[in-house]
Amino acid sequence: MAQDIQNVTFAGTEHWTKKGDVNLFLWNKAPEGAAKGTVLFVHGSSMASQPTFDLQVPGRPFSSVMDWFVAQGYDTWCVDMEGYGRSDKHRDMTANIADGADDLSAASDYIMAKTGAKNFHVYGISSGALRAAAFAERHPDRVAKLALDAYVWTGEGAPTLIERRKKLDQFRVMKRRPIDRDFVFSIFNRDHPGTAEDKVIDAFADAILALDDSMPTGTYVDMCSRLPLNDPAKLTMPTIVLRGEYDGIAAMDDLLKFFALLPHPNKQFTVMQGISHASFQQKNYMMVYQILQSFFEQPAPVYTGE
């Protein structure tokens, strides 16, 4: 059983690619032998990729989702969007959702050339889910399966976005917004305090703030004023929508309407019990891993009705 695998960590390697004159940082963890497939992880609005997907916390087995999937035999990658982490921050831009889709196009070009991968299991969280969906619309041939976690479609009924819109005018005149440790803790306390351990939030904050003391405003402006940004009819690949029980961004009715319009018959909707917004940093994180692994490894149908 996957949950019985002994906890291990894997060495990672840094990679760099170009988007025009912009340097993009990629992080890779891979098994020694042939991989089952390639997973591309896409981060959200307020943190770079390594803190989100390769967070190491002593005493927390497989705290890194990348380590988990390497242990299951997958080649795993993540990329810092322009304006985040170790990627370039020199351009006068706000790193909106469309910019993120550009970053994923450049990153996938590099990974395919480097590894020979033909397509990816793409996972995005929060605004990363919007970026992942935008990328999937542009390059459906590159996305074997799509996982959208903490996703927002129209934003209707999302308490967090209602509060965030109160600062929309401020975000519109800023290229970047400051962040600090209190802000990182607010991500976990705004919806339902107690879903994540303080030691994990502390480690997450340490990792985020070691790379950035401010974040681009583009995704906030997009999510507060420009939704919907994705057309579900164009997401033609198998898709799973994951929604934390207490998530204040991913409103249930909004997601169900989006889910109903997804065209591929292989689609899943799952509510993750006891989870708020940042699922890989929650107490119930192993449940999320199992949900994703099951979706990625679901056998292809032998009968499709065609």
Question: pLDDT, tens digit, for every residue of 191-229?
Answer: 999 999 999 999 999 999 999 999 999 999 999 999 999
Q: How far apart are CA 270 and CA 298, in angstroms?
A: 15
Q: Token pair 């979706």 is at which residue? A: 295
Q: Which of 191, 159, 207, 163 is nearest to 278 (CA)?
A: 191
Beta bridge partners of 176: 216
Q: Give, for 177, the enclosing helix (H) or strand (E).
A: strand 176-178
Strands 13-19 and 120-125: what pairing?
A: unpaired
Q: Give, for 119, the enclosing helix (H) or strand (E).
A: none
Angstrom CA distances, 180 to 150, 185, 186, 209, stand at 22, 9, 10, 7
How many Cα atoms occupy the beta-carbon half-sphere of 56 within 13 Å?
7
Residue 5 — pLDDT band, cuts 50, 70, 90?
A: low
Q: How far apart are CA 244 and CA 191, in angstroms?
A: 10
Exposed e or buried b for every residue in 268-305, given b needs 16+ CB within 10 A? bbbebeebbbbbbbbeebebbbebbbebbeeeeeeeee
Domain boundaries, the chain: 8-296
Question: pLDDT, tens digit, for every residue of 8-57?
Answer: 999 999 999 999 999 999 999 999 999 999 999 999 999 999 999 999 99
Sign of CA dihedral 239, 244, 247, 252: positive
Full-model pTM: 0.97
Q: How far apart are CA 262 and CA 248, in angstroms?
A: 23
The percentage of the chain sitting over the pLDDT mark of 70, rounded to a whole number, equals 98
Q: Which CATH number fits domain 8-296: 3.40.140.10, 1.10.3720.10, 3.40.50.1820, 3.20.20.70?
A: 3.40.50.1820
Residue 241 — pLDDT band, cuts 50, 70, 90?
A: very high
Question: pLDDT, tens digit, for every residue of 96-146?
Answer: 999 999 999 999 999 999 999 999 999 999 999 999 999 999 999 999 999
